[in-house]
Amino acid sequence: MSTTGNAATDYAVALLSAFAREGVEDVVLCPGSRSQALALVAAELERTERIRLHVRLDERSAGFLALGLAAESRTPVIVITTSGTAVANLHPAALEAFHSGVPLVLLTADRPEELRGVASNQTTVQPGIFGPVIDSVDVPAPEGADGEADAASELARRVYRAAAAAPGPVHLNVSFRDPLSAAVPDLSGLETHRDAPDGDAPNATDSVPVAPAVRPVPHGPRTIVIAGHAAGERAEEFARAGGWPLLAEVSSGARFGPNLVVAFRQLLNDADFGGNVERAIVFGHPTLTREVPNLLRRDDVEVVVVGPSGGQWYNQGRRAELVSAVEVAGAPADEAAARRWLGRWVVTSRGILDAEAQAAEPQGRADGRDYARLELAAMRAPVTRRGLVEAVWRATWPHDRLVLGASRLIREADASVPGKKIRVHANRGLAGIDGTIATATGIALASQRSGAGATRVLVGDLTLLHDAGSLLGGHGEKLPRIQVIVGNDGGGTIFDGLEVARTASPTAIERVMFTPQSVDIESLARAYGWAHSRAATAGELHSALTVPVTGPSILEVPLAR
């Protein structure tokens, strides 16, 4: 590889080209002086079609954009920042990536050793800034010495494979001295071979005792299978193989199949169902109910947790058996009893949902003009939260992507939508509202390059406003086919359900919890160049969701508090 005579640029060429050889396809960066060598090399790699480059102004938005790209592609994505507060702004996305198990490389520029600890401008303690749970590598400023390029390539190889193996985020902090960059050479002849992994990457689960590798699960105890966030299809396959009820959250990736129990909240609170559970097999990260963790803390329930959820094990009672994989062992001794156990859960759940649906149907004679009048009234009725989530669920096809923000709406969906094999994303690692628009944009970009359909994003109004800056795309970059559907109830109505709301001052609850807002969302959309529409009735919502999504748009749906 040719050299430029500039240590920073030569190191950046070696590092980023090695990442590209390993398999990095997407790089997200924010502008900055100290990171200029990395940025300019990334631009050259984009020109030569080695990577896809995404430029953003806000590091928090950039971090979540990278998170979305990596969550959908399931391969490490690099996010590049300059020094100082730019690095700190990656912290929310870094923590979400750790708790969700999403592979990210946080490539941050820093001041060299002689400028640290002396109050130099834009300088803080960056090594280890993301805390003890995220691996951090601090690289001294390159000096142009022999062997630095090879060392950079080896470092990229190890960091990439560490991020992919766990999976999760890895922090690579590289110092640079003046002069900070030089003209980047033509990299069109750059080697593109990708080495096969050789198994030497560190694995974040190595320190966690897991035995056995595959745990056989025999029949006998009355068993349920719980699929939390990102459990994946393996949870459905296991429940079906064992003939056990499947309690699958809406973002589990397992919410389908004949064993699905949608109304599991009600049944877990029923002594004839939840009270008779003797064993629970848990996949993924359950986050949407209190009933599930309450069950798993019971001393009379055997709990087996399959694999860590992100960087941690889900172990609510601190007594679960932790295993890397499970398989069904043998056949039930009493097949009739096993069928009854499964059938009661499935049939009762369907009955609950049918009763709720009938209660929402227009009441009256099912003939002639009376029925037509009732149907017309239903189409003109205001949209309810349940009506909104069910309409969005119906409008989403298997080739689409659905992203659910952290609001009342994801809980409404979890409580009511039927089984359907679609790809659902949500930031449930820490269940924050941070970066939802940026995450969804990354998911849309990554999925649509491989032929996926539109990406629909269902959020509350505060979730949209918290990440409004992510509506801004990079200059010259085409935004994907993405529809952000905003349930606008004027604030954080999720807090109205807290126990304290029944006893605290209504004025205080309004001021510091509900946090009312009156933003003109249409003007906000227009300011960022997004299309805007509004659906206040069920009929308008149906019409809006049947229009093809051809670009970035916001669909605003007013909701009552």
Residues making up the chain, counted from first to last: 561
Instruction: Give the domain-ending residue among 113, 145, 175.
Output: 175
Element of type H or E holding 558: strand 552-558
Question: Are residue 87 and residue 27 in the same domain, yes or no?
Answer: yes
Q: Is residue 363 part of a domain?
A: no
Q: Is residue 155 part of a domain?
A: yes
Question: Are residue 131 and residue 250 in the same domain, yes or no?
Answer: no
* Residues spanned by the domain of 247: 215-352
> Burial code of 39-63, b = ≥16 C-beta within 10 A, e = fewer?
bbbbbbbeebebbbbbbbebbbbbb
Q: Whole-angstrom Cα distance, residue 536 to residue 549?
A: 19
Q: How many CB atoms lie within 10 A of CB 76?
A: 28
Question: Are residue 13 and residue 157 in the same domain, yes or no?
Answer: yes
Question: Are residue 57 and residue 98 in the same domain, yes or no?
Answer: yes
CATH code, domain carrying 412: 3.40.50.970
Q: Is residue 109 part of a domain?
A: yes
Q: Is residue 359 part of a domain?
A: no
Q: Is residue 240 part of a domain?
A: yes
CATH code, domain carrying 268: 3.40.50.1220
Residues 6+ apart with CB under 8 A from 120: 111
Q: Is residue 341 part of a domain?
A: yes
Question: Are residue 380 and residue 339 in the same domain, yes or no?
Answer: no
Question: Are residue 345 and residue 483 in the same domain, yes or no?
Answer: no
Question: Are residue 259 and residue 378 in the same domain, yes or no?
Answer: no
Residues 6+ apart with CB under 8 A from 472: 56, 57, 61, 528
Question: Are residue 535 and residue 397 in the same domain, yes or no?
Answer: yes
Question: Are residue 387 and residue 527 in the same domain, yes or no?
Answer: yes
Coil, strand, or helix at residue 527? helix
Question: Are residue 96 and residue 61 in the same domain, yes or no?
Answer: yes
Question: Are residue 423 and residue 287 in the same domain, yes or no?
Answer: no
When divided into structural domains, the chain yields a total of: 3
pLDDT by residue, tens only, the chain of 561 residues:
458 899 999 999 999 999 999 999 999 999 999 999 999 999 999 999 999 999 999 999 999 999 999 999 999 999 999 999 999 999 999 999 999 999 999 999 999 999 899 999 999 999 999 999 999 999 999 999 999 999 999 999 999 999 999 899 999 999 999 999 999 999 998 776 555 444 444 433 333 444 457 999 999 999 999 999 999 999 999 999 999 999 999 999 999 999 999 999 999 999 999 999 999 999 999 999 999 999 999 999 999 999 998 899 999 999 999 999 999 999 999 999 999 999 999 999 999 999 988 877 665 555 556 766 776 777 888 999 999 999 999 999 999 999 999 989 999 999 999 999 999 999 999 999 999 999 999 999 999 999 999 999 999 999 999 999 999 999 999 999 999 999 999 888 888 888 888 898 989 888 888 898 999 999 999 999 999 999 999 999 999 999 999 999 999 999 998
Q: Is residue 198 part of a domain?
A: no
Global model pTM greater than 0.85: yes
Question: Are residue 309 and residue 408 in the same domain, yes or no?
Answer: no
Strand partners, 459: 486
